[in-house]
Amino acid sequence: MNEFGLINKIRLKTFPHINHRLQSGIGDDCAVITDGNKYQLVTTDAVYENTHFTRRYTPPFELGAKAAAVNISDICAMGGRPLYAFVTVGFPKNENQKYVEKIYAGLFAWFNAYGVDIAGGDTIKADRLFLSVTLLGEVEKNRIMLRKTAKAGDVIFVTGKLGASHAGLKTLMGKNKKRLSKDENSAVKKHLMPVPKFIAGRLLGESGLVSACIDISDGLMSDLLHICEESKCGAKIWEAHVPIADEARYVAQKKKEKALDYALYGGEDYELLFTVSPLKAAKFYDFAAGNGLSCKAIGKLTANRGVFRVNASGEKEERFKKTWKHF
Ligand code: ADP
Ligand code: MG
């Protein structure tokens, strides 16, 4: 079974929407519901022991923090602010209560920092530990950023630097973890406790200059494909322009791997990937500089539907084999 094949089948059955206030359901970082001069945003994400995390690599506080962060990140990708969370937790009968309390400490730490109330949830018995978070938020109508509104010719940007989270995962999976270097420690921290790009998302939405936006959860190339599919276009990524995190360079070199691959396919950096019309690019550069927004142009959307990597020796079409598959 293929995750996106299944979601597409479900999605086809959701048209037309029964409730006319549902602006957009399946297919973006959040569902979008009209509410006066605002949109309500809703997103949900679940993690399951030994599928998405293992107790060996993920301490409980970090597990809670990350579950909060990935949902907050989806609201940030729409330009919104997160507000209310519902948390469902499942664990085996003999689970240690302290362990679950530590997960909640992580959830509360992140939710408090972003102004989110835990407003409810459910607790159930399960074979293995799992955590499901549903997050509600809102965004002013004129600030929303969707995946489906980009156009061929738009410039592709990314905030921050990529690949550190994957470097962290590689470090956690490595043998010698007693004496980690500064870069390795930083990579592990970025993997276990990603920071959602709230201020960047709010600024991008406020600018009114962004044509589409998504957060990088699966990996730059994979998430770019989502923008391409929703906006019915293709893309070219200029390899030399992709911002690579120092942690990715350090760990990749140590493991004799390519740091660029960490940045393109690693995922879980939770940076924002967005597009700007070439007609608005000059204005956007001024806006970004004026607001201290760190971002970089890394490519262009094209009318041709393929996604290509471009370097000095030519261009190569992406086959999408290297991305994360659940099934
Ligand atoms: P993200 O990585 O941004 O969290 P996902 O890849 O998990 O997004 O999901 C993509 C879209 O598919 C979202 O709109 C999500 O709500 C929807 N979706 C995922 N799984 C299901 C499902 N089982 N039923 C209905 N919608 C789903
Ligand atoms: Mg997302």
Please name each of the domains of the chain with its CATH number. Answer: 3-140 (3.30.1330.10), 155-319 (3.90.650.10)
Q: Is any atom of ligand 1 closer than 6 Å to the C-beta of 223?
A: no
Whole-model pTM? 0.96
**C-alpha closest to that of 155 among 57, 235, 80:** 235
Q: How far is the C-alpha of 302 from the C-alpha of 138, rounded, in Å? A: 31
**C-alpha closest to that of 76 among 105, 110, 109:** 110
- For residue 25, the ligand closest to its alpha carbon is 1
Q: How far is the C-alpha of 71 from the C-alpha of 132, rounded, in Å? A: 10
User: What residues sit around ligand 2, an ion, with C-beta below 5 angstroms?
Assistant: 29, 74, 215, 217
pLDDT in tens, the chain (327 residues): 778 889 999 999 999 999 999 999 999 999 999 999 999 999 999 999 999 999 998 999 999 999 999 999 999 999 999 999 999 999 999 999 999 999 999 999 999 999 999 999 999 999 999 999 999 999 999 999 999 999 999 999 999 999 999 999 999 999 877 789 999 999 999 999 999 999 999 999 999 999 999 999 999 999 999 999 999 999 999 999 999 999 999 999 999 999 999 999 999 999 999 999 999 999 999 999 999 999 999 999 999 999 999 999 999 999 875 444 444
The answer to whether residues 150 and 53 touch, using CB atoms and an 8 Å cutoff, is no
Residue 327 tokens read as: 């099934």
Q: Is any atom of ligand 1 closer than 6 Å to the C-beta of 26?
A: yes
